[in-house]
């Protein structure tokens, strides 16, 4: 089967990563969670007191970018790669609501985006990759053979995220999660550099009422159709 590039974009908490992992496993492709990369940079900024609820030392973060090393390393037990920041596994730390509150702000920084996009393009130069994020089909891989744009209502996404955090033992309220989802939507769609938009040739999927199985089946069918034509 011919190898292609699959770009999955969309709003936060639409299940992009879940779908991308399913597809990569089914196809034997490499999976890259670009959101984890931005979360890791945000976590670095938090660790180094460069960002907080009422401040953001953007210049110091930009100056520190050469010192930020990001890697995906396979967790054989789980069957997928986890995010490492300067040699440390930070997969759990970067999934907290605290990091979620800062990640879109950090992702607005053009120098951060430039550094990460360059890495992402290098990862996908041989195709056979599933990458999800906010600008994969528009900036990272504008020539991807298949582009998916995922969406769902803010309330549906907040409930999913809330349930996920509760299962992990995080003490959060639904209201705080919904507020975070709405704020991230606004920042992601209004930033000057690579805002979240649907690519002209992307296929939009509203999964508000789709099960994971239905969603996976739908996209797998799209992939099979694309492979036949390339």
Query: Are 166 and 172 spatial neighbours (Cβ–Cβ below 8 Å)?
Result: yes
Higher pLDDT among residues 80 and 35, named by residue: 35
Supply the pLDDT for residue 80: 79
Tens digit of each residue's pLDDT (9 = 90 or more) over 97-129: 999 999 999 999 999 999 999 999 999 999 999
Q: Rounded to 10 degrees, what is the CA torsion of 105, 107, 112, 117?
A: 180
Query: For residues 72 and 82, what is the distance between their CA atoms, to the nearest angstrom?
Result: 5
Q: What is the mean pLDDT of residues 38-50?
A: 98
Supply the pLDDT for residue 74: 83
Tens digit of each residue's pLDDT (9 = 90 or more) over 187-230: 999 999 999 999 999 999 999 999 999 999 999 999 999 999 98
Supply the pLDDT for residue 34: 95
Supply the pLDDT for residue 114: 96
Residue the block writes with tokens 């995080």:
170
Supply the pLDDT for residue 77: 83
pTM beyond 0.85: the answer is yes
Supply the pLDDT for residue 21: 92
Neighbours of 49 (CB within 10 A): 10
User: Residue 78 above 80 pLDDT?
Assistant: no
User: Residue 79 above 80 pLDDT?
Assistant: no
Average pLDDT, the chain: 94
Confidence of residue 1 (pLDDT cuts 50, 70, 90): confident
């Amino acid at each position: 089967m011919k190898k292609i590039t699959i770009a999955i974009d969309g709003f936060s908490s639409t299940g992009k990563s879940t779908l991308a992992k399913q597809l990569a496993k089914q196809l034997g492709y490499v999976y890259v969670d670009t959101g984890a990369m931005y979360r890791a940079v945000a976590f670095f900024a938090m660790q180094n007191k460069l960002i907080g609820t009422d401040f953001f030392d953007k210049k110091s973060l930009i100056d520190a970018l050469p010192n930020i090393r990001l890697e995906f390393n396979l967790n054989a037990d789980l069957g997928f790669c986890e995010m490492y920041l300067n040699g440390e596994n930070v997969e759990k730390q970067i999934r907290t609501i605290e990091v979620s509150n800062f990640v879109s702000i950090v992702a607005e920084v053009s120098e951060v985006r430039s550094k990460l996009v360059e890495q992402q393009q290098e990862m996908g130069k041989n195709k056979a990759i599933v990458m999800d994020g906010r600008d994969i089909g528009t900036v990272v891989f504008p020539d991807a053979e298949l582009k998916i744009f995922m969406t769902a209502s803010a309330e549906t996404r907040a409930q999913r995220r809330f349930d996920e955090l509760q299962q992990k033992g995080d003490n959060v309220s639904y209201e705080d999660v919904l507020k975070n989802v709405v704020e991230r939507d606004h920042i992601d769609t209004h930033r000057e550099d690579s805002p979240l938009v649907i690519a002209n040739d992307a296929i939009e999927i509203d999964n508000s009422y789709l099960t994971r199985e239905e969603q996976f089946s739908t996209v797998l069918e799209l992939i099979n159709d694309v492979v036949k034509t390339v």
